[in-house]
Amino acid sequence: MMKNNLEIKLDSLKKANRKALICYITAGHPDLNTSEKIIEYLYESGTDIVEIGLPFSDPIADGPVIQASSHKALLKGVNTDKIFTLVSKVTKKTAMPVIIMTYLNPVFKYGIERFFKAAQTAGVSGLIVPDATPESAGIFEKTARKYNISVIYLLAPTTVKNRQKLIINRSTGFVYIVSLTGVTGPRSKFDGSIENFVKGLKKQTKKPLMLGFGISNPQQIKSIKKSIDGIIIGSALIKAIENSNKNTLKSNIDKFIKPFRRELDR
Amino acid sequence: MNPTKNGYFGQFGGRFVPETLVKALDELTAVYTRELKNKAFNSKLAYYHKHFIGRTTPLYYAENLTKHLKGPKIYLKREDVCHTGSHKINNTIGQVLLAKEIGKTRIIAETGAGQHGVATATAAALFSMKCEVYMGEEDVARQAMNVERMKLLGATVVPVKSGTKTLKDAINEAMRDWVTNVENTFYVIGSVIGPHPYPLMVRTFQSIIGKEAKKQIMQAEGKLPDYLVACVGGGSNSMGLFAPFYNDKKVKMVGVEAGGLGVNTNKHSASITGGSVGILHGTKTYLLQDKYGQVLPTHSISAGLDYPGVGPEHSFYNDSKRAEYKAVNDKEALNAFHLLSEIEGIIPALEPAHAIAYLIKNARAFKKNDVIVVCLSGRGDKDLDIVNNQL
C-alpha cells in the first residue's frame, strides 16, 4: 500500500536522524479559526506532526487542561464535520501530517466507514484513540487500513511483556509510549524508571517510539531523548497559549515550541 | 446467560479502556473467576450476607397495594431492609472482599444518589480499607444526608465539578483516579456497567436478589411469577432480580427507566427507551447521545437513575426481547412514592418508586391472577428533601 503523509514524514525524519516534535491541540478551542492559525504557527516554529483533538464529552484519559479545552470547544458547537473541514484547510496550507485524537464513541456513532472515508478525504493520516486497545479496536482497524490511515496504539508503563509485543506489532505509523501511569497533563519531571522502560521497548522494534503524557519543559527530555524517536506535547502547549490574543499568539507559540525543537535537535 | 470470554452479551459489553487499565482488569477477571469457585470465599460472603447485611430479605405480599390497584398480586422484594438501606451493599461487600484478596489497600467508588457510596464506605470500614468516593457536585447538594453518612464511615467524599456534575462525571473522575493509582487502588463500580468483568461481576453479586426471590415465591405461590418488575438506571437491582430467571422463559420481565419530564423532551434518563447504541465508560450499550456521539445531559428526579447509559446486559435483554423496557416520568414516580408510603407503610426510594409507578400506570393491563415480583431496591429516607421540595 502507498505510504500516507505520516509514514512518509516518519521515514524522512529517520533518514535525517531527526527526532519528531508532535503537538496536540484541541480543535475549536478557543474557536476553529484560531485553531487553524495555531496549526500554521506550530508548523512554522518547527513542529513535525500535528495531533488534532476531536473533543469528546467524557474524556477519561485526559487531565484537567484537555478536559476543560474539550468542554469549551463542545459548548462552542464544534463537531466532527467542522473538524474535518478544518483538517482539509490545514492539509492544503501546510505539508504537516495530521493525526486525529479522539475517543471511540465519536468514531463509532459517526459510522466507522463514514468516519474513515471523511477523514481520508480531509487529509488525515493517523488516528489515536486512548480508550481503544488492539483487542477492542478490532471494530475499526480494518476500515482504517482500507482508507490508509495509521492506527497508533498507546503503550503504558503497566503494559505487560506479551502485550508490549502485541501493541508494537499492531501499531502503524508509530507507537505512542505513555510516560506515566495516569492521565494527560503537565508534570515537571518523569518517573526515574521510564528511561529503562523505553530502552527495553527500543530493543524490541524498529518502529518509531514517540513519548507523550506529562511533557512540560525541554529539560525533562534531555537524557531520555536518545532512547526515543520523538515527543508529543499537549496540555502544556494549550496552557502556554491559552491567554494569547491575535497579536501574541504567534510569538507565544514560538516561545514555547522553539526550546523543545532546539533540545530535540541538539 | 453467560457473556463471551471478552465480556460480550450479544453485540453489547466488551472492554473499551485505556491501555493502562488492561493489566488490572485482567488481574481482576482472574481473581474474580477463581474466588467465585472458592468455597472459603463463598462462605465468607454468605456469612456477611446473613450477619452484616441482614439477608435473607423478605418477599412481602403487598396486600394493600394489590387491593388498591384491583389488579395483579404484587410481591415486594424488600432490598430496602438491607443494612445501609439498599441493595448496593450486596455488591460492595463482594468487591471489597476481592480487593483484599488482590492486595489492594485503597478503595474508590462513584456515587449518584449516594447509596452506592454509603455501601462502599461501609464495606471499606468493615474491612479496614481507605476509601474515597467521587460524587457530582449537584448530587452532593441533593443527597446531603448520604454525604454525611459517608463521612461518618470514614470515607472522603470528593465533589466532582467537571462536565454535568452528576453520576456520569463522577464515573469519569473515578476512572481517571484509577488510571493514575491502579497499582494500589481497587475501583468498586456500583452498577452492571463499565468494562468487562464489571457487568458480570456486579450481576453475580446482586443475583442473590433473584435467587432468594425465586425460592420465596415458590413457597408463597407454588409457582414462578408471571412478571418481574424493577427500575433501571445502570440496572444492578433489576439485573440482580432478572438474571436467575433468565432461562425461565415464561417469566416476563419489565425494566422501568427514568422518564424525567418525558422521553420526548430532552430531560430524561431513559437510555434504552430513548437512546441509541454507543460506547461509554468502557462498555458498548444504549446511550443518550447526539448524532456526533457526544453524551447528552440527563435528568431524573431520582439521582440514582440519572445516568446516560445502561448495563450492556440490559441492552442485550432488550434487543433479544427477553425483557421489555418502559419509562415512567418524575411525577408518576413521585405519586407512587406517596401511595406506597401511605397504604403499605413503606417509604420507598425514588428509584424503585419508578417500578411501583409502572404498576399503578398499567394495573389494568395485567390479569387479575398474575403474580408480580417487584424489586424494592432501597428505602426513601435519603429522598425526603427532594420530595419536600416538590410540594
Instruction: Determine the Cα angle at B374 with ends B369 and B380, to 5°.
Output: 140
pLDDT surpassing 90 at residue B130: yes
Lowest mean pLDDT among A9-13, B50-54, B137-141: B137-141
* Domain ranges for chain A: 21-256
Q: What is the CATH number of domain A21-256?
A: 3.20.20.70
So what's the ipTM on this one?
A: 0.96
Chain pair A-B, CB pairs under 8 angstroms: 115
Question: In the structure, what pLDDT confidence band is assigned to residue A137 with cuts at 50, 70 and 90?
Answer: confident
Kindly tell me if the per-residue pLDDT of A250 is higher than 70: yes
Report chain B's mean pLDDT, rounded to a whole number. Answer: 96
Distance from CA of B230 to the nearest CA of A (A): 28
A147 phi-psi bin (left φ>0, alpha ψ -120 to 50, beta other): alpha
Give me the residue label for grid cell 435528568. B299
Q: A158 and B19: CB-CB below 8 Å?
A: yes
Q: State the pTM of this model.
A: 0.97
Res. A198: pLDDT tops 80: yes
Determine whether the interchain pair B18/A61 forms a contact, defined as Cβ–Cβ distance below 8 Å: yes
Considering chain B, what percentage of its residues have pLDDT values greater than 90?
94
Banded model confidence at residue B391, pLDDT cuts 50, 70, 90: low
The pLDDT, as a whole number, for residue B107 is 98
Instruction: Return the C-alpha cell found at A55.
Output: 473533543
Work out the minimum CA distance from A266 to partner chain B, whole angstroms.
Answer: 32
Closest residue in chain B to residue A180, using alpha carbons only: B180
Residues 32-91 of chain B with CB under 8 A from chain A are none
Report whether pLDDT(B390) > 90: no
If pLDDT is split at 50, 70 and 90, which confidence band does B325 have?
very high
- Residue B86's pLDDT band, with cuts at 50, 70 and 90, is very high
Query: Which of A56, A60, A103, A162 to substitute to test the interface with B, most B CBs within 10 Å?
Result: A60
At B363-379, the pLDDT tens digits run: 999 999 999 999 999 99
Percent of chain B with pLDDT over 70: 100
Q: What is the pLDDT of residue B266?
A: 92
Residue B97: its pLDDT value, please?
96
Pick from B15, B276, B294 the residue to mutate for testing the A interface (most A CBs within 10 Å).
B294
Distances (CA, A) of B359 to B51, B53, B65, B79, B326: 33, 28, 10, 18, 11
Contacts of A62 in chain B (CB under 8 A): 176
pLDDT tens figures, B47-77:
999 999 999 999 999 999 999 999 899 999 9
User: What pLDDT is stored for residue B3 in this prediction?
Assistant: 97
Contact B293 A106 (CB under 8 A): yes
Beta carbons of B278 and A56 less than 8 Å apart: no
Q: What is the mean pLDDT of residues A243-266?
A: 97
- Using pLDDT thresholds of 50, 70 and 90, give the confidence band for residue A2: confident
